[in-house]
Chain A
Amino acid sequence: MKFDRRYILPGLLILLFLIVAIFPGMFAPYSISDRTATYQAPGADHLLGTDNMGKDIFSLLIYAARWTLMIGFASGLLAVFVGTAVGLLAGWRRGALDEFLMGTTDIVLILPKIPLVIILAAYLGPSPWVLIFVLGLLSWESIARVVRSKVIQIRSSEYILAARCLGFSDCRIMFKEILPVVFPVIVPKFVLVTAAAMISEASLAFLGLSDPQTVSWGGMISDAFTYSGFLRGMWYWWLPPALCIILGVLAITSLAFIHERGVREVMQL
């Protein structure tokens, strides 16, 4: 199949973010525990100046990529795992199990997400793992619905009947025959959930509900807001993390849309 050039720009951007997140020490000039004079303007020593604690903002920006991306991707993976399992089971088994699982999905669907995430994050305490857990477990419902619809469409296909005629068990048919066909539908959902989780993380961090020990882009904007970065006109404190969130989300959603369009073109829809 021909490689789609539209993947290059968002793909490179995500790759850059991932490399920075995995090896922050290679790019950050200072450690996040290093301190110097507070509220310094950008200069040769500190590309983006220093914050209220005297930490190098550029280094913080690099180290923050780790948690922001981690929370986004881990929440996306958790949501995909739960949503795919629920959708596969409901669509393949049908009957009472389908009704129960779809009833549960409907309940999750109507829950007001952000207020619930705020309450849960506040109640369970500030931790990136809690955030991953809460965001992941509240974002699977749309994946479950899409996967279930696709499974219902596929289960009556002749090749599934042919697979049964070759002696494949239900379990094998679900994972080897149906899942690969459903996969192109799951991929854009995964990246969209990941992007939404990154935004949610930033929102929660801005509201002060993230772990103060972990550095994230949302947390940096929150710190800039709380510790007079906005009042002092220190745009180099809050603008770079905001741009990183915007670029990250844009790159991820672009990948999803390009992939979806590519699948449509191949399927001639």
Chain B
Amino acid sequence: MKNILEISDLSVSFPGPNGKIPAVRNLSLSLGPGECLAIVGESGCGKSVVAHAVLRLLPPGTEVLGRVSYQGQDLLHLSESEMDQIRGQEIGMVFQSPERALNPVMKIGKQLISPQVMHGLCSEKDAELRAKGVLRSLGLDADRIMSSYPWMCSGGMCQRIVFAAVSLLHPNLVIADEPTKGLDAANVTDLEAMLSTVTAGKSTGLLLITHDMDVASRLSNRIAVMYCGMIVEEGETRSVLSSPKHPYTRGLLGSLPKNGFVPIPGISPALSDLPNGCVFHPRCAFAEETCRTDIPDLKDGVRCRRC
């Protein structure tokens, strides 16, 4: 089946006082319809930058190289008005702080109706009915919510409203950027149920960006582990989590409470001062001499790994 999203050789650099700061380096990924790909890694490894690069949301001055192909068209070469057509209707995004992802001075009803009308999906009257229908399906009191402001709703309610805003536009690709961050266990379960409906239709892809390995393991078919802007391991979720091949993936799994809470020694290097060779070698117990000089290639196959 043809992939919805294909990212090839994506490199993103931010301008810094002493030259470019590489946030993402030579990243390649693909996502098919009905598939959930999780990008995992610790904070600052460049996961969200990938999402922002796909939707062209990076600040001016950022250098973005490579190709981001959405259903055959390279998003990096589209005009801003063409991207406005892609954003929302083709690619939707669920944010990590739902309360802050809603306009505080606009009623929720208006926030759910206006994107549908703007994209020409339906009339305002139909948009209101559709919005109420989706809110009800998510277990919310639609009439009350439609006339409420975001600050009148709880975090869990806001998360459902944000999800409703995205799903009302029926995008082919949903990017969820740390959607469980700051939510309690009950809301995480609810959110997982909502996100699992995205891929249930087999036509929509879900790009899940998270540092929560449990959420990634429950929702994703495939997993890509990122470290310092690079993918260090990628493969089927079950396979990667049950038998990790890269030392960083092993360290990441070992640091989970259920696996003994063993921290990875050292700290992540600053992106402006990355070590030569394998970026993980200063923290790796298995580092050899070649690791200090050569950047390992991502070995292709069912299980790709950079070690």
Query: By the criterion CB–CB under 8 Å, are B87 and A181 in contact?
Result: no
Query: By the criterion CB–CB under 8 Å, are A162 and B84 in contact?
Result: no
CA distance A236 to B27 in the complex (A): 83
A164-B87, A165-B57, A165-B88 as given contacts; A158 in contact with B115, CB under 8 Å: no
A167-B115, A172-B118 as given contacts; A180 in contact with B84, CB under 8 Å: no
Least distance between A57 CB and chain B CB atoms (Å):
47
Interface check A122, CB cutoff 8 A: no
Interface check B92, CB cutoff 8 A: yes
Interface check A169, CB cutoff 8 A: yes
Interface check B227, CB cutoff 8 A: no
Partner of B100, one of A95, A159, A164, A168: A159
Contacts of B169 in A (CB 8 A): 166-167
Query: By the criterion CB–CB under 8 Å, are B162 and A165 in contact?
Result: no
Interface check B122, CB cutoff 8 A: no
Interface check A177, CB cutoff 8 A: yes
Contacts of A97 in B (CB 8 A): none
Query: By the criterion CB–CB under 8 Å, are A162 and B85 in contact?
Result: no
Interface size on B, residues (CB 8 A): 31
Q: Which of B55, B92, B106 has the most CB of A within 10 A?
A: B106
CA distance A157 to B101 in the complex (A): 8
Least distance between A1 CB and chain B CB atoms (Å):
10
Q: Which of B93, B103, B105, B115 has the most CB of A within 10 A?
A: B103
Query: By the criterion CB–CB under 8 Å, are A161 and B57 in contact?
Result: yes
Q: Mark B68-95, 1 if CB is under 8 A from A, else 0.
A: 0000000000001100111111011101
Query: By the criterion CB–CB under 8 Å, are B101 and A166 in contact?
Result: no
Query: By the criterion CB–CB under 8 Å, are A167 and B85 in contact?
Result: yes
Q: In chain A, what residue has the closest Cβ to B88? A: A167
Least distance between A157 CB and chain B CB atoms (Å):
7
CA distance A159 to B105 in the complex (A): 11
Interface check B148, CB cutoff 8 A: no
Query: By the criterion CB–CB under 8 Å, are A158 and B100 in contact?
Result: yes
Interface size on A, residues (CB 8 A): 20
Interface check B196, CB cutoff 8 A: no
A145-178 interface (Cβ within 8 A of B): 157-159, 161-170, 172, 176-177
Contacts of B101 in A (CB 8 A): 158-159, 161-162
Query: By the criterion CB–CB under 8 Å, are A167 and B119 in contact?
Result: yes
Query: By the criterion CB–CB under 8 Å, are B81 and A165 in contact?
Result: no
Query: By the criterion CB–CB under 8 Å, are A180 and B100 in contact?
Result: no
A158-B97, A169-B81 as given contacts; A164 in contact with B57, CB under 8 Å: yes
CA distance A181 to B106 in the complex (A): 9
Query: By the criterion CB–CB under 8 Å, are A159 and B88 in contact?
Result: no
Query: By the criterion CB–CB under 8 Å, are B115 and A162 in contact?
Result: no
Interface check B165, CB cutoff 8 A: yes
Query: By the criterion CB–CB under 8 Å, are A168 and B103 in contact?
Result: no
Query: By the criterion CB–CB under 8 Å, are B103 and A166 in contact?
Result: no
CA distance A157 to B103 in the complex (A): 9
Query: By the criterion CB–CB under 8 Å, are B114 and A176 in contact?
Result: yes
A158-B95, A172-B118, A176-B114 as given contacts; A166 in contact with B88, CB under 8 Å: yes
Least distance between B169 CB and chain A CB atoms (Å):
7
CA distance A157 to B165 in the complex (A): 18
Partner of B105, one of A95, A163, A181: A181
Query: By the criterion CB–CB under 8 Å, are B84 and A177 in contact?
Result: no
Residues of chain B at the chain A interface (Cβ within 8 Å): 55, 57, 60, 80-81, 84-89, 91-93, 95, 97, 100-106, 114-115, 118-119, 162, 165-166, 169
24 contacts between A and B (CB under 8 A): A158-B95, A158-B97, A159-B103, A161-B57, A161-B101, A162-B93, A162-B101, A162-B102, A163-B103, A164-B55, A164-B87, A165-B87, A166-B87, A166-B115, A167-B84, A167-B89, A168-B115, A168-B118, A169-B84, A170-B80, A177-B103, A177-B106, A180-B103, A180-B105
Residues of chain A at the chain B interface (Cβ within 8 Å): 95, 157-159, 161-170, 172, 176-177, 180-181, 183
A170-B80, A181-B103 are known; give 9 further A-B pairs, CB within 8 A. Answer: A95-B60, A162-B162, A163-B103, A164-B55, A166-B87, A167-B84, A169-B84, A172-B118, A180-B105
Task: Report the 3 A-B pairs with minimum CB-CB distance, sorted nearest first.
Answer: A167-B88, A166-B88, A158-B100
